[in-house]
Structure 1
Amino acid sequence: MERNHARASDGAVLAACRHGGHLLSWQTPDGRERLFLSPLSQPAPGVAIRGGVPVCFPQFSGFGPLPKHGFVRDRIWQCTAAGTAADGRARLTYALEADAATRALWPQAFRCELELLAAGDTLAVTLAVHNTGEAPLSFTGALHTYFAVTDLDAARVSGLEAHPYRDHAGAAAAGGGIDHSPDGAPLCFGAEVDRVYAGVRGAIRLATGAGTLQIEADGFPDAVIWNPGPEKGAALADLEAGAWRRYVCVEAAIVRTPVSVAAGALWRGTQRVRVI
Structure 2
Amino acid sequence: MGFKAANQQVYLYGGHVTSWKNDHGEELLFVSSKAIFKPPKAIRGGIPICFPQFSNHGPLEQHGFARNRFWSIDTDPPPFPTNSSTKAFVDLILKPSEEDLKIWPHSFEFRLRVTLGPGGDLMLTSSIRNTNVEGKPFTFTFAYHTYFSVSDISEVRVEGLETLDYLDNLKNKEQLTEQGLVWNPWDKKAKAMADFGDDEYKHMLCMETAAVEKAITLKPGEEWRGRQELSAVPSSYCSGQLDPQRVLQSS
Would the TM-score normalized by the shorter structure come out above 0.5? yes
Counterpart for residue 88 of structure 1 = 86
- In the alignment, structure 2 segments of 5+ residues that lack a partner are 76-81, 234-251
- Which of 43, 55, 61 is residue 61 of structure 1 equivalent to? 55
SS in 2 for 1:29: coil
Counterpart for residue 26 of structure 2 = 32
State the Cα RMSD in Å: 1.8
1:86 to partner: Cα distance: 4.6
Find out whether 1:155 has 2:149 as its counterpart: no
2-side partners of 1:125 and 1:62: how far apart?
Answer: 23
SS in 1 for 2:115: strand
Q: Match of 1:226, as an amino acid? A: W
**Do the aligned partners of residues 43 and 25 (structure 1) sit closer, same or farther apart at CA in structure 2, a change above 3 Å counting?**
same
1:85 to partner: Cα distance: 7.9
1:127 to partner: Cα distance: 1.4
- Which of 198, 206, 211 is residue 241 of structure 1 equivalent to? 198
2-side partners of 1:64 and 1:138: how far apart?
Answer: 11
2-side partners of 1:62 and 1:141: how far apart?
Answer: 12
SS in 1 for 2:202: helix
- In the alignment, structure 1 segments of 5+ residues that lack a partner are 8-12, 188-194, 196-224
Q: Which has the higher strand share?
A: 1
Find out whether 1:51 has 2:45 as its counterpart: yes
Find out whether 1:16 has 2:4 as its counterpart: no
2-side partners of 1:250 and 1:59: how far apart?
Answer: 17
Q: Deviations over 1:44-96 (max 9, x none)?
A: 22210000000000001111111110011101000237xx9852322122111
The answer to whether the 8 A contact 1:58-1:70 is kept is: yes
- Which of 209, 212, 215 is residue 258 of structure 1 equivalent to? 215
Task: Output aligned runs, 1:184-223, within 5 Å.
Answer: 195=181
Counterpart for residue 166 of structure 2 = 165
The answer to whether the 8 A contact 1:85-1:91 is kept is: no
SS in 2 for 1:157: coil
**Do the aligned partners of residues 179 and 39 (structure 1) sit closer, same or farther apart at CA in structure 2, a change above 3 Å counting?**
same
SS in 1 for 2:25: coil
In the superposition, the TM-score normalised over structure 1's length comes to: 0.77
Q: Deviations over 1:107-134 (max 9, x none)?
A: 0000111111113241111111011113
The answer to whether the 8 A contact 1:43-1:74 is kept is: no
SS in 2 for 1:44: coil
The answer to whether the 8 A contact 1:80-1:94 is kept is: yes
What is the identity percentage for the equivalent residue pairs of Structure 1 and Structure 2? Answer: 35
Q: Deviations over 1:228-272 (max 9, x none)?
A: 111112211111120011111111112112101121111010011
In the superposition, the TM-score normalised over structure 2's length comes to: 0.84
